[in-house]
Amino acid sequence: MELKRPYYAVIFTNTRTEGDNGYEQMAQDMEDLARKQPGFLGFESARSSLGISISYWESLESISRWKANMDHKVAQQKGKKQWYSWYKVRICAVEREYEFSNES
């Protein structure tokens, strides 16, 4: 899918605490909720010992609205209290992209 550039990426990098403690369900709920937000463009994630989740947005304003969403705020607080031992958030403008695919 070709997106109009620039668009924005929120890169959430983290390390988790031990145990699930409701994390997987909340993570899925937050992804589902983000997909319904105005300005949401997409989502990718990967997890090993380090988790990386990237959400894509049309504008900085749409990112600010998502950060202020009350359900998202609840998840943020739970994350600080019980799910993450460390995290970092980066907000980046995507000005160029390209990809390779060897799939037929």
Where helices occur in 22-87 by DSSP H, the ranges are: 23-35, 60-68, 70-78
Distance CA 8, CA 40 (A): 10
For residue range 74-97, list pLDDT tens digits in order: 999 999 999 999 999 999 999 998
Choose among 44, 51, 47, 34: nearest CA to 94: 44
Please report which confidence band the pLDDT of residue 1 belongs to, taking 50, 70 and 90 as the band edges. Answer: low
Residue ranges of domains in the chain: 17-94
Neighbour tally for 18: CB within 10 Å: 6
| Best CATH choice for the domain 17-94 from the list 3.40.50.170, 3.40.50.80, 3.30.70.100, 3.40.50.1360 | 3.30.70.100
Rounded to an integer, what distance in angstroms lies between the CA atom of residue 7 and that of residue 94? Answer: 5
The maximal CA–CA distance of the chain, rounded, in angstroms, is 46
What pLDDT is recorded for position 104? 74
The answer to whether the pTM exceeds 0.85 is yes
Query: Do 2 and 19 touch, CB atoms closer than 8 A?
Result: no
Q: pLDDT tens, 30-87?
A: 999 999 999 999 999 999 999 999 999 999 999 999 999 999 999 999 999 999 999 9
